[in-house]
Amino acid sequence: MKKKMILSLLAGIVISVIALYFAFKNVPFSELIGYFQSIDYFWMLISLLFVVFSFFLRVLRWQVILRTSSMVSFWRAYHPMMIGFMLNCVLPARIGELARPAILQQKEKIPFITGLATVATERLFDLLFLILLFAIVLSFIDIDPDIKMTFGSYTLNRSMLMTIATGMVKLSLILIAGIVLISIDRIRKLAKWIIMKIPGILSFTGSKGQEIIGRYFCLPLVSIIENIAAGFGLVKNLKNLSLCLFFSLTIWLMQAVSYYIITLGCPGVDVSFFEAAAVLIIICFSIALPSVPGFWGLWEAGGVFALSLFAIGSKEASGFALVSHAIQMFPVIIAGFVSAIVYGVNIRQIKYHS
């Protein structure tokens, strides 16, 4: 297992390097290095503080969501979250989203399905705010349909952003519908009643067959429904729901502030706070596309495309995109590895059993 994980990490690094090459192939390397030397890294440190604070807020939000099934302390929520984010940065398929509920099950005895439902609820808050913020960006910024950024098989332009937004809206509606339906007691009871009637419908299987279907299919399925409902229990508590909305708004505000602060230390990247927030939103939309672990290359392409809307040169835009990516990624990776050590979690076991 250790050998396979090392090979997976090495493959991810190689693919990420190739992705970065395609993102920066039109920017002379020597000019980019020279630009990095001109950056005021004091502002990068200030930006990092806001990034760290936003992750603390994410932990508080997840704590509120988890309250419906179990009371988990700040640090016992912090470690699984940071491990999950770290795995998303270094391994493919966003495996960190499955790692979090797996760790909760192992350490806090919270059913995996319940934990997964809380992660889905948390992601739904981010999706809703991202869609809302993108709508605000579109209402104030006219994205020229002729401006585009090519990255591999992707062409980042207004049309692509609208396609991603449509997909996000559909996914959000499906999640909301599922959460509402499973959280309504009558509907949930009806679903369980129908499930428990299945063995009787399949009377031709005989009494033994009916017993097996009831024990190994119907009862586990009913248990899964109850565990999912526990994870989605947040919607029944107006106070907790309001808290999550407040934390979500503050998280995105802190992220926008961190991006604006980065621009203060990047020569040639002269944009307003609102424009910096727009860059953040467009980068988030860009990395929603399938990509390598850590979104290397696609993040930078999204940043260059976003800044080109505000007449920022490719060298300056590339430097900003790479620095902002590093500020967002590397602290998460370090914190995740530290959490894995402190929390006593075997990362290899998470990878192969999530």
Flag whether 31 is in a domain.
no
Flag whether 34 is in a domain.
no
CB 149 within 8 A of CB 156: yes
Token duo for residue 134: 């993108």
Flag whether 13 is in a domain.
no
Flag whether 342 is in a domain.
yes
Flag whether 32 is in a domain.
no
pLDDT, tens only, 279-316: 999 999 988 887 777 788 888 889 999 999 999 988 89
- When mean pLDDT is compared across 13-22, 97-106, 154-163, 314-323, the lowest value belongs to 13-22
Flag whether 349 is in a domain.
yes
CB 103 within 8 A of CB 80: yes
Domains identified in the chain, total number = 1
pTM confidence score: 0.85
| Amino acid 1: pLDDT | 46
Rounded-to-integer distance, Cα 309 and Cα 141, Å: 9
Flag whether 325 is in a domain.
yes
Rounded-to-integer distance, Cα 106 and Cα 280, Å: 35
Q: For residue 68, what pLDDT band results from cuts at 50, 70 and 90?
A: confident
Flag whether 221 is in a domain.
yes
Average pLDDT over residues 55-83: 92
| Amino acid 11: pLDDT | 57
pLDDT above 80 (res 31):
no
Strand partners, 149: 156
Q: Which amino acid is at 201?
A: I
pLDDT, tens only, 175-226: 888 888 888 888 888 888 898 888 888 877 788 888 888 887 888 888 888 8
pLDDT above 60 (res 353):
no
The domain of 65 spans 40-353
